[in-house]
Structure 1
């Protein structure tokens, strides 16, 4: 039995514990406790305002600075409800249930399966693993291959954390060009509003906040780029912030301990409870670098000697790919199989052949005269010329001009200058007519249907910026399309402009038909909404880059078979022709590894674009063989390196983390009844809340209403947000709020089918904005939270309603919660206390119920009831409250002790792992790196201690008397 569990029946102090759900009085105002945690400065209580003056206000108070008076549940006053159909009681009950956090150990998913994400079992298994009993703190590396939907997995995990009272403050860190995409997905699919601090957002913050104000205290949920956040400007602010959850996308960029990215990650990891790392390339082949990622998640997961423990890797990492069994069996037609890659050899023109010969004879394989280049270590430059040549004449010209501008004036520099000018003259001749590869590109685009009036789209990738600019200038005229039908995106553009281009490419009504882009778009960007054609205008000398590019259109949600084409210039020279065949092999190898492994980086074993390019350059130069550089697929899994470990751990059918889920079924939202309880659905709850709050909700805002309108046939509702609701939406993009008129007329889709329809329609309407005109009313929607806050203010200080129900004798409905020192709910119990003996209010029959829904059903409150009038003589019921609370506390001792013991066993496993690490570290304590890691482990130990349950709260919710008339609607 857990010694620290308070025996509340004999411990009055436990009744008034500052546990989530309790009501407290601070500064003469009433507040609902959302969480209470022990800190170095005392107990910190996070609250939501209930009384009129502080309604819609969130605040935090220290017990050492403010007098915080909890209201004693056993002394709650019973009041009669005279509202029609007991509307006030029903709203208060539903809001209380919604504000009661789901226990941290709950094994079923609640809100995660009720958003607009398709119910895919492999994504839900990832969420279960992140929240499972093996992780008291949700800390996970989502390492699914490109295209599986890591963003949706992130959204599902965050949704569950919010519903469990563990997601009030969330920070999401992403690359610049996917900021809006991440914000869009979290809002449109899960109703989680985040402020986006891109360049425009930061400028807006600077206008709104004083220069000395920490923006991370002002905004609770933030999406920001890693480039912005890692600067010294924000590090000091971040050190002072604690986050319930931190998400870092493209986390493979964190592994190098000497970088600013890693410094930022270590800082955030220390200050976050939940940590979600995401990367399709989770390791670089080096065990020490991968270990650094694992240490961010759990500093004790990697032994002091640095050797990876497969069990710890399996505990902290999730890895699947397109053809993993658990993925392949569920994606179906929503992820069309890609076609075999089409490598198109394009014979060079005579002018291009002349350039190729010059490159061969003078630069790549010079004869007896030696090389013309002047720098001793400039052996890479000839291959830079070759790569530029294979890209475009424009790229070669830029490379030549750049080199000429950097040359000195000695003899060797003069020799090189002459050679470069000769090469430039030959290259200028290739520019007098369209290059062969360009002509084939135009033909190919026309063949697949790109042209004036056609909806067909294509994305064209090239490495060199000059190639991109040249394609952007010349393609419109040769395709016969307007200039705005060809869009250019590259890394030199501001982040908001990059996001705008990606947004337009998703829109059916946007004029863009061809996106020419560099590798800035190869990571994280979704380009598949309107496009299934991708052309490599030049082929990267890296398998990683090829895979990243292909993943932009080859991903879940792609309804058409992705068509991937590579254009390869084929000079007449045998040596250059051999080079072209090597590059074609890269495309074929990527496709082979995509099918078998979902991980192309393991073929070359470098896990680094530059290193792969160096090896391919060596193959082209003849110093290495292709088959020695690029391993066969079968050899990867048979090896003994980190790639083999991943293949062995993750390339097999997943073992269910918990009991089998039905969440892949169409009715996934019925998996666990954690949605609306008192009401049939969310919209009925919202409508009743408006009826309660406004005399006539259908009246305009100016006349005391909200202009409420419900269209059942179309599955939508509309209202004008009052200022306190509009304020909750203001963190969303200003363009979205303005274009969709959100703060003036909020339109909500009330069914999942309607929500999906409007989200899909947003890609086709004339607003050219992928944010929907009717936002789905998901369970966590701010409008429902706003309604709950208003409803909870309906009762006076420490009151409960008395109502009629289908009971044989007076019965009290109660809820009990067990929480830990971090203020997290460990267990929730719903009970009824029935008083069968009229003259003996001290005798109560306690009945536990499996859920709030079940408890209400036992009272006859599973359907709407008529209210014939307020119950008379409620004072006689007052004497039932204290005995009900007392008897319920006694009954819960056994139940909560079992829950506490379950947590204690997991805490013990955690502590044992920390102790083992400590013992191993003792011998190496003088090493500075070990000292740094030990500090993290000690912080982890303090976290362990705070996870132990230490407070219990039982609250009366309702007093129900027999309904002699049996009036039910």
Structure 2
């Protein structure tokens, strides 16, 4: 066995995911997945990934984290067959212990037996529509999928579900997420918190540390099975080549549209993705809310990454075009909010209420704005015939116009910056800062750009701007203040988005002094990603809150947990940014039924008027018709430049005619771009029919999720178990604050040392603030079934209870016992409940390749004394109700002894039960496979005998 293979398998084990053989075990392998063996003085369960020489195993009473390898030839005592130990009379349990044992067994299972292999590992309850991309992925081999759902629908969840499922099916062992730098932390958090995965962040800052001490033959991507990688770090030629050499089997690309353009330095990203898809077997999932960002060539290059044939759609016509679109539909899903609403799953998204507010420049404010426009016109005219100077001066004037329209504070910053420049500013730098760039540049573009200047005129403008900054009476600021007060009074928590750092601080200082008893926070690109996230979380603790932010927060940090209104203080020149801003709060998981979106603009501000009338109004109309925004097809900013030239020219026409300056619809540039925009909207409308995937019916398989939830345990089960388990081991769940406030405090210091050590490894120390709801209460961690706290508690109780009977400490509260007897009102005759763990082998065949996995069920069978029995959830439910009473000690002893004797005679019935469950599981797998039209065949084999975890006698109440 090669060292690289061993390293990969060990890395996979450390990440908490089992590796799986891609071919069946050799015929001379004695033990297959699910077999029980005895070695090193204890019993083990054989896992997938074993072969004739090395067994991958975990203790029968242990967790996934305890798995290890046994090299058969090196064992001093030969490995032998084993059987699961049956309950003993001495392992007594009361009702509370029996219920804890049941819940610990259910919540410890990671290899659930349902057709969706991943559901035991995730901490969310996916909606029906979120299963559609997963069903599509199960149809494809390799998976080549473009998920282009609307902003806020949950593309991250949909892609992570696919990754988790492919991992748990054994189809892949490694994956990487490629995303813009500012999204790296968000991806790591989502994968850790919701999908029980522990990816390593690979960025320019972390790469050197990760590469330290690696052997020359190893790579970050072979050593670490799961990674989230900055596109900017990996796109360079040398890094790209290394990544392609060691690339995982599955790659997820977020903001994929930024990888399809070949302009403005983007060609390196495109070359990276071209290299990825050159490997025919590699799985690729691409995510974007804007697959068609206005660049036709980039759009078809993006489709060509799914399959080279799809790039030909740009020139195809007639039947050829229809056939290609039909083929593309198997690889492309694009749903708008109206498409999601058709699933009738309740109110998944809030109702968005929009409003426009206008202010009017008067007095000194109007005179300052006029002076700036006059100054800008003179600067442009002063460039003469020098083409380069014309461009620099024009872009500089645009920068100043944007800053002045934002706030006097931003104007001061821009004017001072230009006045302090001693050397010429690069053209690209000015252009990039003036225009609202791509989503992946958001954290870096809120710095005020330098303004072009004629130095003699600057001093007077700077003086005016400084005076206005310190004055009361800013009409734009007043209308914002009044509106924020109104929003807070109505119970909303707003986010105010502005364009520049100076404006953000200007607003934050003013609002903090004007609005009492409300926490006001300011977040800009000056802060690191972690600092931005921390500031948002701290602000979320306040009962009433207002956040002022630049566009550094319009992507990368979800705000729906703490905020439910958006105010656009500055108009963006790119309508997509408006949607990105509103999408931070109007998204899946927003608890408020209504979100507000308010647009503020100047009624006599020609800059606002031009952008509003020609760009934003048209974007709103298209969005209203389609239910989704269509990006402005103006990558070269020709429309914005034309609009601002018109503003400068028409500024010469004084007050009486200025209102006419907003009517730019006759401009050639505007009409040409409008034509392209409407054409893109029409294409988007046609795509909605084909790519909304209405033919897939998740409701056909959603019952399998409901079954899984019943078997795996929902949030009520998790909360009940966590509270009782902590109390059993010396800890507690302490409600936080008043009765109306959610959340619990959980001190860990009183827990046994071995439990604390295991929690410490998971980063859980001291006292935790937790919540069992999602989103969680402020400052609380969300806790679901796969959370380390739940896993450690469940596994600890199982290990202590199912471990060596002879060595068990009867006084240890963590030893729950496995046999018991009580009087129950839910039965009318003596009932015997056997709590069992069923082990099955699930084999899937795709062509010549077969994969055999161990899958497990926590279930029960109850014999009521009649001809029939209760099985599954009905039998498990018998253990829930509080007993009516406890029988005398001698009655309990006799009942338990008789039950253990009966168990021997009922083993054939248990075997038959296990066989029935295997057939039912096979039927469930086939139903999902048919709904997804998935490839390959499945078989399920019950491994006998079943593991009897506990045996409990329920006696009827005697009146």
Smaller-chain TM-score bracket: 0.5 to 0.7
Q: How does 1:357-756 map to 2 (within 5 A)?
A: 357-363=374-380, 366=381, 371-372=383-384, 374-376=386-388, 378-379=390-391, 381-392=393-404, 393-394=411-412, 396-397=414-415, 400-401=418-419, 405-406=423-424, 420-425=454-459, 427-434=461-468, 439-450=474-485, 458-464=494-500, 475=510, 479=514, 485=520, 487-490=522-525, 493-508=527-542, 513-517=546-550, 519-532=551-564, 534-556=566-588, 557=590, 558-568=592-602, 570=604, 577=606, 580-602=609-631, 604-605=632-633, 610-611=635-636, 613-621=637-645, 624-631=668-675, 636-639=680-683, 643-650=684-691, 655-659=696-700, 661=702, 673-676=710-713, 681-682=717-718, 698=728, 705-708=729-732, 718=746, 720=748, 722=752, 725-726=755-756, 742-746=764-768, 749=771, 755=773
Once the two structures are TM-superposed, the CA of residue 494 in structure 1 deviates from its matched residue by 2.7
- Aligned residue for 2:668, secondary structure, equals coil
String of CA shifts for 1:612-633, please: whole Å, max 9, x gaps.
Answer: x233323544663423313498
CA distance in structure 2 between the aligned counterparts of 1:624 and 1:529, rounded to whole angstroms: 45
1:466/1:31 CA distance change after superposition, 3 Å: same
Once the two structures are TM-superposed, the CA of residue 249 in structure 1 deviates from its matched residue by 3.4
CA distance in structure 1 between the aligned counterparts of 2:230 and 2:418, rounded to whole angstroms: 35
State the partner residue of 1:322. Answer: 337
Once the two structures are TM-superposed, the CA of residue 310 in structure 1 deviates from its matched residue by 2.8
State the partner residue of 2:49. Answer: 36
CA distance in structure 1 between the aligned counterparts of 2:776 and 2:717, rounded to whole angstroms: 23
CA distance in structure 2 between the aligned counterparts of 1:499 and 1:810, rounded to whole angstroms: 49
State the partner residue of 1:83. Answer: 91
1:553/1:90 CA distance change after superposition, 3 Å: closer
Is the 8 Å Cα contact of residues 140 and 316 (structure 1) preserved in structure 2?
yes
Once the two structures are TM-superposed, the CA of residue 516 in structure 1 deviates from its matched residue by 3.8
1:18 aligns with 2:14: no
CA distance in structure 2 between the aligned counterparts of 1:494 and 1:253, rounded to whole angstroms: 22
TM-score (norm 2): 0.66
Once the two structures are TM-superposed, the CA of residue 360 in structure 1 deviates from its matched residue by 2.7
1:787 aligns with 2:794: yes
CA distance in structure 1 between the aligned counterparts of 2:100 and 2:518, rounded to whole angstroms: 56
- Aligned residue for 2:730, secondary structure, equals coil
State the partner residue of 1:928. Answer: none
State the partner residue of 2:5. Answer: none
CA distance in structure 1 between the aligned counterparts of 2:453 and 2:769, rounded to whole angstroms: 67
CA distance in structure 2 between the aligned counterparts of 1:963 and 1:671, rounded to whole angstroms: 24
- Aligned residue for 2:353, secondary structure, equals coil
1:162/1:814 CA distance change after superposition, 3 Å: same
String of CA shifts for 1:702-738, please: whole Å, max 9, x gaps.
Answer: xxx4335688999969563556555665577x7xxxx
CA distance in structure 1 between the aligned counterparts of 2:859 and 2:346, rounded to whole angstroms: 42
Is the 8 Å Cα contact of residues 686 and 784 (structure 1) preserved in structure 2?
no
CA distance in structure 2 between the aligned counterparts of 1:215 and 1:746, rounded to whole angstroms: 33
Number of aligned residue pairs: give it.
829
Once the two structures are TM-superposed, the CA of residue 562 in structure 1 deviates from its matched residue by 1.6
Is the 8 Å Cα contact of residues 80 and 870 (structure 1) preserved in structure 2?
no
Is the 8 Å Cα contact of residues 179 and 229 (structure 2) preserved in structure 1?
yes
- Aligned residue for 1:818, secondary structure, equals strand
Once the two structures are TM-superposed, the CA of residue 103 in structure 1 deviates from its matched residue by 4.8
Is the 8 Å Cα contact of residues 49 and 56 (structure 1) preserved in structure 2?
no
Structure 1 range deviating more: 213-222 or 397-406: 213-222
Once the two structures are TM-superposed, the CA of residue 601 in structure 1 deviates from its matched residue by 3.3
TM-score (norm 1): 0.66
Q: How does 1:114-129 map to 2 (within 5 A)?
A: 115=124, 121-123=128-130, 125-126=131-132, 129=135
State the partner residue of 1:955. Answer: 944
1:591/1:891 CA distance change after superposition, 3 Å: closer
Q: Which runs of 5+ in 2 are unaligned?
A: 1-21, 405-410, 427-450, 647-666, 807-816, 822-828, 884-891
Is the 8 Å Cα contact of residues 34 and 165 (structure 1) preserved in structure 2?
no
Is the 8 Å Cα contact of residues 579 and 620 (structure 1) preserved in structure 2?
no
Is the 8 Å Cα contact of residues 813 and 831 (structure 1) preserved in structure 2?
yes
CA distance in structure 2 between the aligned counterparts of 1:332 and 1:953, rounded to whole angstroms: 41
Once the two structures are TM-superposed, the CA of residue 420 in structure 1 deviates from its matched residue by 1.9
Is the 8 Å Cα contact of residues 245 and 272 (structure 1) preserved in structure 2?
no
Is the 8 Å Cα contact of residues 495 and 566 (structure 2) preserved in structure 1?
yes
Once the two structures are TM-superposed, the CA of residue 279 in structure 1 deviates from its matched residue by 2.3
- Aligned residue for 2:49, secondary structure, equals strand
Is the 8 Å Cα contact of residues 110 and 120 (structure 2) preserved in structure 1?
no
CA distance in structure 2 between the aligned counterparts of 1:277 and 1:743, rounded to whole angstroms: 37
User: Which protein, 1 or 2, shows the higher relative CO under an 8 Å CA cutoff with sep ≥ 6?
Assistant: 1
Is the 8 Å Cα contact of residues 758 and 792 (structure 2) preserved in structure 1?
no
- Aligned residue for 1:508, secondary structure, equals coil
CA distance in structure 2 between the aligned counterparts of 1:72 and 1:890, rounded to whole angstroms: 22
Is the 8 Å Cα contact of residues 103 and 825 (structure 1) preserved in structure 2?
no
1:104/1:346 CA distance change after superposition, 3 Å: farther
String of CA shifts for 1:836-873, please: whole Å, max 9, x gaps.
Answer: xxxxxxxxxxx9x998446879xx88989967476589
- Aligned residue for 2:609, secondary structure, equals helix
Is the 8 Å Cα contact of residues 355 and 423 (structure 1) preserved in structure 2?
no
Is the 8 Å Cα contact of residues 841 and 852 (structure 2) preserved in structure 1?
no
Once the two structures are TM-superposed, the CA of residue 443 in structure 1 deviates from its matched residue by 0.5
Q: Which runs of 5+ in 1 are unaligned?
A: 409-416, 572-576, 691-696, 699-704, 735-741, 763-769, 836-846, 911-946
String of CA shifts for 1:723-764, please: whole Å, max 9, x gaps.
Answer: 6555665577x7xxxxxxx52345655xx5xx35xx5541xx
Structure 1 range deviating more: 720-729 or 561-570: 720-729
CA distance in structure 1 between the aligned counterparts of 2:950 and 2:571, rounded to whole angstroms: 77
1:238/1:964 CA distance change after superposition, 3 Å: same
CA distance in structure 1 between the aligned counterparts of 2:99 and 2:549, rounded to whole angstroms: 57
Is the 8 Å Cα contact of residues 81 and 803 (structure 1) preserved in structure 2?
no
State the partner residue of 2:354. Answer: 339
Q: How does 1:757-776 map to 2 (within 5 A)?
A: 761-762=777-778, 770-772=779-781, 775-776=782-783
Once the two structures are TM-superposed, the CA of residue 405 in structure 1 deviates from its matched residue by 2.2
Is the 8 Å Cα contact of residues 39 and 78 (structure 2) preserved in structure 1?
yes
State the partner residue of 1:148. Answer: 153
1:362/1:67 CA distance change after superposition, 3 Å: farther
Once the two structures are TM-superposed, the CA of residue 239 in structure 1 deviates from its matched residue by 6.8
